Structure 1
Amino acid sequence: MLKDIIAVEPRQNYQLYIRFEDDVEGVIDISKIVQFTGVFAPLQDKEYFATVEVNFEYGTIQWDSGADLDPDVIYSMITEQLIPEYRLSAVSTNSAD
């Protein structure tokens, strides 16, 4: 997928309006995809939640606490498309003795 997020607007009840570079857009409910623990704990505060911003360098959204979300996951949720599997090929090295 690898589509960058270019706009985000906080909505009520932990929802975010998201727009991607290919003009795909939609609203996601963050409370259904993250637990408010660890780096996500501050997001329980709705005023803090509303401070979400786009990180244009990484093409995702973030908060000052360091919390961010994978744009591929968000894109998949909005488009209802599965994330393609990425396969890593093992590189073997043979040493001659």
Structure 2
Amino acid sequence: MTDIIHVRKVLRLGGYRLKVWFTDGTAGEWDFSDLAQRETGPMVEPFKDPAFFNEVFVEFGGLTWPNGYDWSPEALHADMAAAGVLTFETAAA
């Protein structure tokens, strides 16, 4: 049985970069600039404004924004793991 992974904490690093801590004890930095630059549609249009991007918060274990857009924690964790940016952090962040 596989544990479900959730986002535990998020820290804004400036621009479209976030540091994300997961419930499995891993953490890493990720650049979400593709969200503002390449994605299209009414849900992602507000992301062209970095101030809106910075309104990110954690809700139900996923990254969420005020317009209801959310990012799957499992998919984000898998992408970050594949890119080699996750590390285990033993200290409480």
Shorter-chain TM-score above 0.5:
yes
**1:70 matched to 2:61:** no
Q: Which runs of 5+ in 2 are unaligned?
A: 84-93
Find the counterpart in structure 1 of residue 51 from structure 2: 47
Runs of 5+ in structure 1 lacking a partner? 82-97
Q: How does 1:1-97 map to 2 (within 5 A)?
A: 2-32=4-34, 35-55=39-59, 58-80=60-82
Identity %: 23
For normalisation by structure 1, the TM-score amounts to: 0.71
Greater fraction of residues in strand? 2
Q: TM-score, normalised by structure 2?
A: 0.73
Pairs aligned (count): 79
Q: Is the 8 A contact 1:42 1:48 kept in 2?
A: yes
CA distance in 1, matches of 2:8, 2:44: 22
For residues 47 and 22 of structure 1, what CA distance do their matches in structure 2 show? 29
Q: Provide the secondary structure at the position in 2 that maps to 1:38.
A: coil
Contact kept in structure 2, 1:8 and 1:18, CA below 8 Å? yes
Q: CA-atom RMSD, angstroms?
A: 1.9
Runs of 4+ in 1 over 6 A off after TM superposition: none
